[in-house]
Amino acid sequence: MKRHIGRVFAYVILIALGIVGVAPFVYLAILSAKRRIEILAQVPPKMVFESATIARTYREVLHSQGMLEFTANSVLVVGLATLVALVIGTPAAYAFSRLPFRGKEGLGGWILSLRFMPPIAVAIPLFLMMKSIGLGDTYLGLILPYVSFSLPLIVWIMVGFFDEVPREIDDAALVDGCSHFGVLWRVMLPIVRPGLATSALFASIFIWNEFLVALYVIDSRDLQTITLGAATLVSAQRPIDWNIAAAVGVVTVIPMLIFSLLVQRYIVRGLTVGAVK
Amino acid sequence: MGTQALAEGSGISAGWFGRRGAEAWLLLGPCLFYLATFAIFPLVYSLRLSFTDLTAAVGTGRWVGLKNYSDLLADPQFWNATKNSLIMVASAVTIQVVLGVALAMFFDLQLRGSSIVRGILALPMLITPIVVGVMWRALLNPDWGLINWAIARVGFEPPNWLGSVEMAMKTLVLVDVWQWTPFVVIIVYARLQALPHDVFEAAQIDGAGRISTFRHITLPLLMPAILFAGIFRAVDEFRSFDLIYGLTYGGPARTTTTLSFFSFQNGFQFHNYGYAAAVAYVMLLILVAGTTILLRYVQLRPGHTQ
């Protein structure tokens, strides 16, 4: 009997945890479906929705406020920066995992420590650099810094994945006269595909969410990324229309949530690389 | 015996100059070059900036030596920001680690449906702190927010979460705990699953109770994962900026202005680039000192933490 009660209690906690995790998202979605006046008057919000209200709010957010355009900008910036970072970072991770060379430990520690760098420490110099080479207020001016922010992350994750591949596999290929490039390209890349997906996922999330550097580099409204656009629309400094703010939040979050659900199994792998073996 | 002979012995060259050495250079080169240009150079640039009085209005900025740093030490707002940063890091990391380990143990009960709940709890980590801020400003709204309604409903006086100087930092930490405790849970839980089961069985045969098994066996085995998670959280708390921007904007009365936010305000709002760079460099010094001390106790290398 005592055991039974304990079990019921444990399930109550489990359900409560689930609610704590998901309720803020649901609340935001509900607010975005209400009229401004309803948010102020209905506490708690009634579960009655009008499709006309929802359509009006989201049309306003997507078109008049430009969130659709910001989303497209972000997809472009995230895609390009992630791709470039993978192309540059994967061979480096392979070298760290497999090749003996002088200064390896120091160099590795140096790259990984960049992962701890506060973006605030480089935002101003990056902004001044981009401006001086004529890339202020351009996509390229964002993509270049984003690649360098993602590189330590990608190297970190990929070294973990390369380390898991048994050495015998590449040794066999090396004995057969394959170069390290050949081994990496033909033998290793197919094996570490989950690693590529994991690092692409984490780099994408990071870049999608980044907004400090974007705040400095981007001036034009029509070049804003989604997080920068959202931040300027719902800034804590000024009074806002809550239905609009909530819809902006929903629009910002949904692409990442869908993306993460599609590749959910990689999330835990990516977070635990280096923590557990 | 030279490196050449060694290299032949192992089949791979250890130097930079053999065929294999050149390959190492080609594989690493782009990454190193890129980071040197877009990470190290900006850091050096930032250090230089911190010795100038550059503002957005003045073109080049005059060399002022250590003036920014001495101004900083005399600036009560800098000390206020330092204090807030330390409070935020210490309280958020402590709560997240304790709660995270407890929840990892809870998930280890393997209740039906717990993998779904773990999946749900991973979501907050993925979303931008800007939206987390909006979400919680709505939930905690003094006039119509759901949480205050619920608190009033059960007969308590709801606190002024974001508007009062006593509560704002606590609220900031609370929201951060909501977003990031799952990180600790995931790391510690994964380690827990990797532990050999016979250890626990042996302890039970020896008649060890649950609490003493946890204290003397589980906790020491989990320690590397807990330290790993704790260090990552500490660094991320320290450099955290977006959540403050989205939730409190440093207020009220600067009670949530941390070093990150203080540097941002000086740089972006007041266009004092030199001063902002000096604040950022003090942050870097604290980070380097902090992580150097911490890394004496834990080794951080992917795949080789134990």
Q: Mutation test of the interface with chain B: which of A124, A180, A242, choosing the one with the most B Cβ atoms within 10 A?
A: A124
Confidence of residue A59 (pLDDT cuts 50, 70, 90): very high
> Does B303 score more than 60 pLDDT?
no
* Cα angle, residue A93 at apex, residues B240 and B295 outer, rounded to 5°: 50
Residues B139-150, mean pLDDT to the nearest whole number: 92
List, in sequence order, every residue forming a beta bridge with B55; answer none if it has no partner. Answer: B272
Confidence of residue A45 (pLDDT cuts 50, 70, 90): confident
- In chain A, what are the domains? 69-272 (1.10.3720.10)
- Which chain A residues are within 8 Å of B143, Cβ to Cβ? 40
Residues belonging to chain B? 306
> Closest residue of A to B163, CA-based?
A236
Q: Give the per-residue pLDDT at A89.
A: 95
CA B163 to chain centre: 26
> Does B263 score more than 60 pLDDT?
yes
CA distance A179 to B270: 54
- Which chain B residues are within 8 Å of A18, Cβ to Cβ? 116-117, 120-121
- Is-cis flag, bond preceding A44, omega within 30? yes
Of residues A1 and A200, the one with the higher pLDDT is A200
Q: Which of A106-120, B1-15, B112-126 has the lowest mean pLDDT?
A: B1-15
CA distance A33 to A47: 10
Q: Give the per-residue pLDDT at B5.
A: 37
CB B117 within 8 A of CB A17: yes
> Does B1 score more than 80 pLDDT?
no
User: Does the beta carbon of B106 lie under 8 angstroms from any beta carbon of chain A?
Assistant: yes
> Closest residue of A to B187, CA-based?
A272
Confidence of residue A1 (pLDDT cuts 50, 70, 90): low
Q: Give the per-residue pLDDT at B277.
A: 93
Q: Give the per-residue pLDDT at A154.
A: 93
Of residues B92 and A53, the one with the higher pLDDT is B92
* A275 DSSP assignment: T
Q: Give the per-residue pLDDT at A237.
A: 55
CA distance A147 to A141: 11
**Token pair in block for residue A209:** 């969410």
- Which chain A residues are within 8 Å of B15, Cβ to Cβ? 101-102
Q: Give the per-residue pLDDT at B203.
A: 77
Biggest CA-to-CA distance, chain A: 75
- Which chain A residues are within 8 Å of B20, Cβ to Cβ? 99, 180
Q: Give the per-residue pLDDT at B104.
A: 95
Residues B19-47, mean pLDDT to the nearest whole number: 87
Q: Which of residues 86-115 of A touch B (CB under 8 A)?
A: 88-89, 91-92, 94-96, 99-102, 107-109, 111-114
Identity of the residue numbered A106: G
Confidence of residue B138 (pLDDT cuts 50, 70, 90): very high
CB B14 within 8 A of CB B7: yes
Q: Give the per-residue pLDDT at A196.
A: 92
Chain B nearest CA to A38, separation (Å): 10
What value does the mean pLDDT of chain B take? 85
**CB proximity list for A47: less than 8 A, separation 6 or greater:** A30
Measured from the Cβ of residue A220, the count of other Cβ atoms closer than 10 Å reads: 8
List, in sequence order, every residue forming a beta bridge with B272; answer none if it has no partner. Answer: B55
**Token pair in block for residue A214:** 């974007």
- Which chain A residues are within 8 Å of B180, Cβ to Cβ? none
> Does B199 score more than 80 pLDDT?
no
* Alpha helices for B50-75 (secondary structure H): 67-73
CB B43 within 8 A of CB A117: yes
ipTM above 0.95, yes or no: no
Q: What is the pLDDT of residues A235-272, one digit of tens each?
A: 755 667 889 999 999 999 998 888 888 777 788 778 87
Instruction: Please provide the distance, in angstroms rounded to a whole number, between the alpha carbons at the two ends of chain B.
Output: 34
Q: Give the per-residue pLDDT at B202.
A: 79
Q: Mutation test of the interface with chain A: which of B25, B128, B186, choosing the one with the most A Cβ atoms within 10 A?
A: B128
Q: Give the per-residue pLDDT at B2.
A: 37
* A65 DSSP assignment: S
Of residues B160 and B19, the one with the higher pLDDT is B160
Q: Give the per-residue pLDDT at B105.
A: 93
Confidence of residue B10 (pLDDT cuts 50, 70, 90): very low
- Which chain A residues are within 8 Å of B280, Cβ to Cβ? 118, 120-121, 124
Confidence of residue B306 (pLDDT cuts 50, 70, 90): very low
Measured from the Cβ of residue B1, the count of other Cβ atoms closer than 10 Å reads: 6
Residue B210, CB-side half-sphere exposure with 13 Å CA sphere: 2
CB A234 within 8 A of CB B130: yes
Residues A14-19, mean pLDDT to the nearest whole number: 95
Phi, psi of B55, rounded to the nearest 5 degrees: -125, 170
Q: What is the pLDDT of residues B251-260, one digit of tens each?
A: 899 999 999 9
Q: Which of residues 274-293 of B touch A (CB under 8 A)?
A: 276-277, 280-281, 283-284, 287, 291
Q: Are the Cβ atoms of A114 and B130 closer than 8 angstroms?
A: no
Q: What is the pLDDT of residues A147-195, one digit of tens each?
A: 999 999 999 899 989 988 888 888 888 888 788 888 888 888 989 998 9
Closest CA to B248 of B183, B170, B146: B170
Closest CA to A151 of A102, A93, A73: A93
- In chain B, what are the domains? 3-36 (no CATH), 71-297 (1.10.3720.10)
> Does B8 score more than 50 pLDDT?
no
Q: Which of residues 211-230 of B touch A (CB under 8 A)?
A: 224-225, 228-229
What value does the mean pLDDT of chain A take? 88
Q: What is the pLDDT of residues B280-296, one digit of tens each?
A: 999 999 998 887 887 77
Q: Give the per-residue pLDDT at B59.
A: 59
Residues B208-235, mean pLDDT to the nearest whole number: 87
Closest CA to A225 of A130, A109, A142: A142
- Which chain A residues are within 8 Å of B135, Cβ to Cβ? 24-25, 27-28, 249
Of residues B154 and A42, the one with the higher pLDDT is B154
Q: Are the Cβ atoms of B302 and A163 closer than 8 angstroms?
A: yes
> Does B12 score more than 50 pLDDT?
no
Burial of A238 (0-12, 13-18, 19+ CB in 10 A): exposed
